[in-house]
């Protein structure tokens, strides 16, 4: 659906050139939830805003459904923006208008619907985001989570195919964040809407996204399925973002900090696995058929979106030959192993 090719953006600040994006290549499929994560100043907002040309790239192309939008004239851009909704960290609501009027606003400005048809659409959207009882309130009377629900309803008013989320939960507490993420997931499933979001929180990516790209210094430094990137982060920025989100993974990625090294007798191995195998006694079977003994030093069973995963830090004691056989059995069962020491 979206193809970004060699995208670059340079800002001119006081006669100096600041490079915000440098040679970005990405593909985002229809119906997927794609996350872009990075530290402050990495280029996330510039990249997201290039998708609806709120930011004009300096080089490269953005293709949506095969059409290069960077060459669109005003009229085509106007039509494109109606197919792309956007929500913001600070909600950007019209404070002097009620919830219903905020949601009605884009319809009033751009659609050819009658007042009655618009009212019907607003009622539908209010129900979708769970705010039917708050239609007559003003933004100042709402909680942060409710304000973001209004933002989502407003973004969906013109039935877009693509929703851009700019740090949509960064201003919310953890519980409200979860409820907004659940709403976005529900909307993605019910409406088949493609969602592209930017965040600096790995937790948001883990909960919501199918795939992720890590951006640093205006370049994509790592990308892939969320489970792969989360469980096997390669770039230092990715490792640090995973570590901030999940201390257990951090400890397993860098076990030197996790426990007393002088107590180690055998081979230190990190196992990772995803999917149904998480709930099967495969490890028990493999070890029961071997003379190799194991000690669990650390472990975690959790989920990424709805995909269960496990990771274990084990010390294996046995002959090299027997340990190799255990590794071969792990491979056979798609349990990834990584010898750490
Ligand atoms: N309008 C602008 N004029 C000049 N420089 C800009 C402008 N917008 C962004 N930049 C610079 O471009 C780089 C990328 O900024 P961008 O806002 O895209 O990063 P970000 O990852 O979204 O950061 P944050 O998480 O802090 O919002 C930064 O160095 C920033 O200072």
User: Are 128 and 274 in a shared domain?
Assistant: no
Q: Provide the Cα torsion 84, 90, 94, 96; round to 10°.
A: 170
Q: Compute the half-sphere exposure of residue 97: CA atoms within 13 Å on the CB side of its CA.
A: 15
Residue 258 has a pLDDT of: 59
CA atoms of 150 and 111, how far apart (whole Å): 19
For ligand 1, atom 31, the nearest C-alpha belongs to: 41
Q: Is the CB of 36 under 6 A from ligand 1?
A: no
Domain boundary pick from 244, 262, 291: 244
SS3 93: coil
User: Are 272 and 132 in a shared domain?
Assistant: no
Kindly give the distance from the C-alpha atom of residue 42 to the centroid of ligand 1, in angstroms, as a whole number: 7
Kindly give the distance from the C-alpha atom of residue 73 to the centroid of ligand 1, in angstroms, as a whole number: 26
Q: Which residues contact 94 (CB under 8 A, 6 or more apart)?
A: 101, 102, 105, 139
Q: Which residue in this structure is represented by tokens 């973001």?
A: 148
CA atoms of 286 and 327, how far apart (whole Å): 10
User: Are 158 and 293 in a shared domain?
Assistant: no
User: Are 170 and 262 in a shared domain?
Assistant: no
If one counts every other C-beta atom within 10 angstroms of the C-beta of residue 39, the result is 15
Domain boundary pick from 205, 227, 244: 244
Residue 260 has a pLDDT of: 66
User: Are 260 and 197 in a shared domain?
Assistant: no
User: Are 280 and 229 in a shared domain?
Assistant: no
- ipTM exceeding cut-off 0.95 for this assembly: yes
Kindly give the distance from the C-alpha atom of residue 44 to the centroid of ligand 1, in angstroms, as a whole number: 8
Q: Is the CB of 9 under 6 A from ligand 1?
A: no
Q: For residue 215, which atom of ligand 1 is closest to its CA?
A: 21
Q: Is the CB of 44 under 6 A from ligand 1?
A: yes
Residue 251 has a pLDDT of: 83
Q: Which residues contact 109 (CB under 8 A, 6 or more apart)?
A: none
Q: Is the CB of 16 under 6 A from ligand 1?
A: no
Domain boundary pick from 244, 274, 306: 244
Residue 231 has a pLDDT of: 94
Kindly give the distance from the C-alpha atom of residue 284 to the centroid of ligand 1, in angstroms, as a whole number: 50
Please name which of 40, 34, 47 lies closest in space to residue 219, comparing C-alpha atoms.
Answer: 47
Q: pLDDT truncated to tens, each residue of the chain (341 aa)?
A: 999 999 999 999 999 999 999 999 999 999 999 999 999 999 999 999 999 999 999 999 999 999 999 999 999 999 998 899 999 999 999 999 999 999 999 999 888 899 999 999 999 999 999 999 999 999 999 999 999 999 999 999 999 999 999 999 999 999 999 999 999 999 999 999 999 999 999 999 999 999 999 999 999 999 999 999 999 999 999 999 999 888 888 888 887 765 667 778 889 999 999 999 999 999 999 999 999 999 999 999 999 998 999 999 999 999 999 999 999 999 999 999 999 88
Tokens (6 digits) for 97: 């208008």
Residue 60 has a pLDDT of: 97
Q: Is the CB of 13 under 6 A from ligand 1?
A: yes
For ligand 1, atom 3, the nearest C-alpha belongs to: 11
User: Are 129 and 262 in a shared domain?
Assistant: no
The DSSP output letter for 92 is: -
Q: Please report the DSSP string for 1-38 in residue order.
A: -EEEEEEEEEEEETTEEEEEEEEEEEEE-TT-EEEEE-
Q: Which residue in this structure is represented by tokens 């009658």?
A: 114
Q: Is the CB of 200 under 6 A from ligand 1?
A: yes
Q: How many domains does the chain have?
A: 2
Q: Which residue in this structure is represented by tokens 């933004």?
A: 139
User: Are 237 and 298 in a shared domain?
Assistant: no
For ligand 1, atom 30, the nearest C-alpha belongs to: 41
For ligand 1, atom 24, the nearest C-alpha belongs to: 40
Kindly give the distance from the C-alpha atom of residue 56 to the centroid of ligand 1, in angstroms, as a whole number: 14
Kindly give the distance from the C-alpha atom of residue 144 to the centroid of ligand 1, in angstroms, as a whole number: 25
User: Are 237 and 300 in a shared domain?
Assistant: no
User: Structural domain of residue 310, as residue ranges?
Assistant: 247-339
């Amino acid at each position: 659906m979206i193809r970004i090719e060699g995208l670059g953006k340079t800002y001119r600040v006081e006669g100096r050139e600041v490079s915000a994006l440098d040679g970005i290549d990405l593909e985002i499929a229809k119906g997927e939830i794609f996350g872009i994560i990075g530290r402050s100043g990495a280029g996330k907002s510039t990249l997201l805003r290039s998708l609806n040309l709120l930011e004009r790239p300096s080089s490269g192309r953005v293709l949506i459904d095969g059409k290069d939008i960077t060459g669109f004239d005003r009229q085509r851009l106007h039509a494109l923006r109606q197919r792309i909704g956007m929500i913001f960290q600070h909600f950007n609501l019209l404070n002097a208008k009620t919830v219903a009027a905020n949601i009605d606003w884009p319809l009033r400005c751009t659609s050819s619907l009658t007042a009655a048809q618009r009212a019907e659409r607003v009622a539908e959207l209010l129900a979708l985001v769970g705010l039917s009882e708050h239609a007559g309130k003003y933004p100042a009377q709402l909680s942060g989570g409710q304000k973001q629900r209004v933002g989502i309803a407003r973004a969906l008013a013109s039935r877009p195919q693509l929703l851009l989320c700019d740090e949509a939960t960064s201003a919310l507490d953890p519980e409200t964040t979860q409820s907004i993420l659940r709403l976005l997931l529900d909307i993605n499933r019910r409406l088949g809407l493609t969602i592209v979001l930017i965040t600096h929180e790995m937790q948001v990516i883990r909960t919501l996204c199918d795939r992720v790209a890590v951006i640093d210094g205006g370049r994509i430094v790592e990308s892939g399925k969320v489970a792969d990137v989360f469980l096997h982060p390669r770039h230092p920025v990715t490792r640090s973002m995973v570590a901030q989100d999940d201390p257990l993974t951090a400890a397993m990625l860098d076990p030197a900090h996790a426990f007393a090294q002088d107590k180690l007798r055998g081979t230190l191995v990190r196992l990772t696995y995803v999917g149904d195998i998480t709930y099967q006694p495969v490890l028990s079977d493999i070890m029961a058929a071997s003379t190799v003994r194991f000690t669990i030093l650390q472990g975690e069973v959790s989920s990424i979106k709805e995909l269960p995963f496990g990771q274990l830090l084990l010390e294996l004691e046995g002959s090299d030959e027997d340990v190799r056989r255990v590794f071969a059995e792990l491979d056979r069962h798609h349990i990834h192993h990584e010898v750490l020491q």
